[in-house]
Amino acid sequence: MSYQPPLEYHQQPPRPGTRGLGAGITSIVAAVLSPVAAVVSVPLGIAAVASAMSRFNEGNDAWWIGALAFAALAVALAIVAVVCGLIAVFRAGRMNAGRITGIVGLSIMAVNVFGVAFMVILVLGSGQAG
């Protein structure tokens, strides 16, 4: 007869170190897509200015709506990248895949933040000219 330890004696196996990985990956994806949306908004803003200056095209606000929608998308993605990066870093607790991806997402957004802000301000400024 073999000895069976009590049921409370058994411990759970250690969990793999992936806490915060989903938030870190979301941060990286949002940090990469944010400047793409901002870059798309700039030509739409230029087209809106050109459309407003044209005497043949009266009352066409579709360019402005598109430019402002992409500028708002760029800002929203930048916010998502920062929030998800911070969640990944603080949720991980120790250096694991979640914390590393969160740090990478935050660093990508740190490089992109001034470019995204410049492009959004450029689009909003072009709206004042029209």
pLDDT for the residue 129: 57
pLDDT for the residue 8: 66
| Residue 120 one-letter amino acid | V
Band the pLDDT of 127: cuts 50, 70, 90: low
| Higher per-residue confidence, 11 vs 50 | 50
pLDDT for the residue 93: 78
Query: Is pTM, for the whole model, over 0.75?
Result: yes
| Higher per-residue confidence, 8 vs 37 | 37
Would you list the DSSP string of 50-81? HHHH-SS--S--HHHHHHHHHHHHHHHHHHHH
With left for phi above 0 and alpha for psi between -120 and 50, is residue 2 left, alpha or beta? beta
pLDDT for the residue 18: 75
pLDDT for the residue 61: 74
pLDDT tens column, 26-58: 999 999 999 999 888 888 888 877 777 776 766
pLDDT for the residue 9: 65
- Contact between 38 and 106 (Cβ < 8 Å): no
Sign of CA dihedral 43, 48, 54, 60: positive
pLDDT tens column, 63-119: 788 888 998 999 999 999 999 999 999 988 778 888 899 999 999 999 988 888 888
CB-based contacts of 43, cutoff 8 Å, min separation 6? none
